[in-house]
Amino acid sequence: MQIYLRVLGRDLPPSLKMLIEQHFRFAVYPYRSAIDSVDVQLSKDNDDPSDSRVHCRARVHLRSGRSLTIGRRDNRVETAVNRVAKRIFHLLRCRNERRRTARPQCTA
């Protein structure tokens, strides 16, 4: 499983890049066998030039061929990244629970 980070329109210190990778690695770790890769993109929100919000978007590519995409805008990079990583964790957990309970039980 690979995590790819792409930053558009700003420079991030290496320590912040490492923190972002850790957030996403921690969020998907329990479900790593079902995941091919995670693409994370950070960009400055260009809707309003006076606005300093950051847009964090993550796409999780599953081995089944599907993908999950979550995005968040916030004034702080750390907050946007944290919220997106938490949301991905919860989506993967719900998906896993649904798959587990959807399997037919053997009654014999």
The pLDDT of residue 74 is: 92
CA dist., res. 100 & res. 102, Å (int): 6
CA dist., res. 4 & res. 21, Å (int): 8
CA dist., res. 65 & res. 81, Å (int): 24
Whether 44 is covered by a domain: the verdict is yes
Whether 68 is covered by a domain: the verdict is yes
The pLDDT of residue 12 is: 84
Cβ neighbours for 66, distance < 8 A, ≥ 6 positions apart: none
Whether 27 is covered by a domain: the verdict is yes
The pTM for the full model equals 0.83
Cβ neighbours for 53, distance < 8 A, ≥ 6 positions apart: 44, 45, 73, 74, 75
The pLDDT of residue 10 is: 74
Distances (CA, A) of 34 to 3, 60, 89: 14, 10, 13
Q: Identify any residues that bridge with 35 across adjacent strands, giving them in sequence order.
A: 62
Q: What is the mean pLDDT of residues 86-102?
A: 86
Whether 37 is covered by a domain: the verdict is yes
Number of domains in the chain: 1
What pLDDT digit, counting tens, does each position of 24-61 carry?
999 999 999 999 999 999 998 666 666 678 999 999 99
Whether 107 is covered by a domain: the verdict is no
CATH number, residue 40:
3.30.160.100
Whether 87 is covered by a domain: the verdict is yes
The pLDDT of residue 99 is: 77
- Domain holding 68, by residue range, is 2-102
